[in-house]
Amino acid sequence: MTADAIADGSEPEDTEQPREFTRLGEYRLVQRLGEGGMGVVHLGLDRHGRAVAVKVLRQHVAHDPDARARLQREVETLRRIRTPRVAPILDADVDGVTPYIVTRYVPGPALDDFVAERGPLAPADLHRVASGVAEALDTIHSAGIVHRDVKPGNVLLVDGDPVLIDFGIAHVADDIRLTLTGLVMGTPGYLAPEVVGGEDVTPATDWWGWAATTAFAASGTPPFGRGTMSAVLARVARGEPDLRAVDPRIEPLLYAALSPDPADRPHHGEVVAALECYAHGAPVTEAIRVRTRQPTQLLATNALPVTPAAPMGDAMAAAGGAAGALAQSDAAPSPGGVLTPPPASVAAPPTPAPGAGHQQLTGPGSSVPESESDWDAARLGHGPYGDPRIGRPKRSGTLLALLALFATLTAAAPLLALLVLFGWATLARTADRSVTSLVMRRHQRGARGSDVAVAVATSPWHLVIGALGAALTMVAPLVVGICAMFATALVLTALTGRDAAADGVMPLVTAAFFAALTAWWGPGGASLRRGSRSIVRGVSPGGKAVRVVVAALLAAAAVLGAASAAADGPTWWPRPTAPGWIDEVIPRF
């Protein structure tokens, strides 16, 4: 069956994000621009045809009050900022069924994509980008806001000028609700060391991320490398960036700006001025006190639990808790006020003795993503931390074959078909609730060995809720199906000039078709769609099995259809009634 083969190669399921060229509020969605674990960013058009960026929460987290509250905070944050260096908010609906916000569309690549394609920025371009992001940060800090996630992926370039985006975890200085002990959100490698150490979020947090972003733009590589999250955060906390790929003329400058101690960092205005000198070929560090690398020792650390969180456009990683206190000596400047640049190689930190305290990113019995590849996999729905429904084939061909079988079963035995539809809706909703519950549990607590046991233990509850949901949402499909049945009988009577039975093959097939469409796209249909696709994927994993299942379903539909056409009316089983009751309920026209 080619329909399912086509479906397997179509766009992946994304937990019922709005499709392209459909409307969301007053906006027509045109193209998907980016996505994360919590939401998707679409290119949209307003009613005047102007391009906008529409950030939409994924449906499986839209019911989460925390996710909606974070979106509401982003709306409130953006409304307080007025600068061309930040995409302004245009509209928002955070209370609807599908929460979204609308911002100005920025038609340019992210800094990380630009550097990956073209390499490190030239001196003049580096100064232009660094000064532009600094201008954006000055403005948002003046509004009492800390961005908290300044990184290359959140800097878009428009004709070389930067625009700062993604305020999903922005911190409002006077909002104590955002100060949570043990929960620090951001991106490893661009998360300031004082925040890793459990201190408060301040504007210095953004300036450190700005310096790390500038170092990336100057070198083309993450300044604190890649690898496990624990290794990256340890290098951040010790202030040990790898700047070997940076121009030696600005290496001491960036090394100073990435000091783990905010008091040792040069003012951002000095850094911008130094980069302007660099752009013109003048000496950079003559007037700036920079630091040399001093031996550091990890004195003590605490457990550092990590809670993954992904805002729209570019998903973020999260790290919480407190890292250990670090001993960092102040370096004395050499004559002339300029210190010797750090050596190219960095000695590995001492290995703690058995039983000694060490930095760990997982709590007892839990497991969370530690490497960037794990986070990337989670954003795409892979691995134990992502939604397993993301990036999977929709199995549209198999579902259409099931619709054909349901329609012919309705023509043969309408009441039995109704019971089958109710049973399928119950199973689909149960499956959807179970998977969503697992995804949300891992999102909040990390992957654990008890996940399977918890899923089994809660399955009866999910079944009960699934059955109740199926019963409530069956009303509209039933009404629509009955109306379609009588309407088809009327049309056939008008076309043929003969009385058409409302319980004939064509009226019943039409009723089944419209009832199924109403259940699929009507109230509560998202859960039915997700669950149905999960069940179908489980029964026919892919390849030849899909074609075999589709062929079997179509063959069964053909047999039932032929039998219904040859029979003298449908069988009203399993409801035992006296012959002729149907003539009293469904008259002939």
Distance (Å, rounded) from C-alpha 589 to C-alpha 587?
Answer: 6
Residue with tokens 């390499």: 119
Q: How far is CA 493 from CA 496, 504, 565, in A?
A: 5, 12, 18
For helices 451-473 and 475-496, give the axis angle rounded to 10 degrees.
40
Query: Phi and psi of 94, rounded to 5°?
Result: -100, 0
Answer yes or no: are the C-beta atoms of 252 and 338 closer than 8 Å. Answer: yes
- Which residues make Cβ contacts (< 8 Å) with residue 201, sequence separation at least 6? 146, 148, 171, 179, 184, 195
Answer yes or no: are the C-beta atoms of 330 and 263 closer than 8 Å. Answer: no
Q: Can you give the C-alpha Rg of the chain in angstroms?
A: 30
Distance (Å, rounded) from C-alpha 489 to C-alpha 165?
Answer: 57
Alpha helices in 356-474 (DSSP H): 372-379, 396-412, 414-445, 451-473
Query: Phi and psi of 40, rounded to 5°?
Result: -130, 140
Q: How far is CA 334 from CA 3, 286, 327, 339, in A?
A: 73, 12, 22, 5
Q: How far is CA 536 from CA 74, 346, 546, in A?
A: 38, 53, 9
- The beta-strand segments (E) located in 60-166 are 89-93, 100-104, 145-146, 155-158, 161-164
Answer yes or no: are the C-beta atoms of 183 and 316 closer than 8 Å. Answer: no
Name the CA dihedral angle for 521, 524, 525, 529, rounded to a multiple of 10 degrees: 170
Q: How far is CA 218 from CA 127, 213, 392, 417, 433, in A?
A: 10, 9, 38, 65, 47
CA quadruple 254, 258, 259, 262: dihedral sign: positive
Name the CA dihedral angle for 103, 105, 108, 110, rounded to a multiple of 10 degrees: 20
Among 4, 14, 149, 387, the active-site one is 149
Distance (Å, rounded) from C-alpha 578 to C-alpha 568?
Answer: 17
Distance (Å, rounded) from C-alpha 460 to C-alpha 458?
Answer: 6
Instruction: Examine the residue annotation and report whether 149 is marked as an active-site residue of this protein.
Output: yes
* Chain-centroid distance, C-alpha 139: 28
- Which residues make Cβ contacts (< 8 Å) with residue 209, sequence separation at least 6? 147, 149, 150, 151, 186, 190, 191, 192
* Chain-centroid distance, C-alpha 327: 38
- For β-strands 145-146 and 100-104, DSSP reports them as unpaired
> Which of 78, 321, 316 is closest to 184 using CA atoms?
321
What residues act catalytically?
Answer: 149
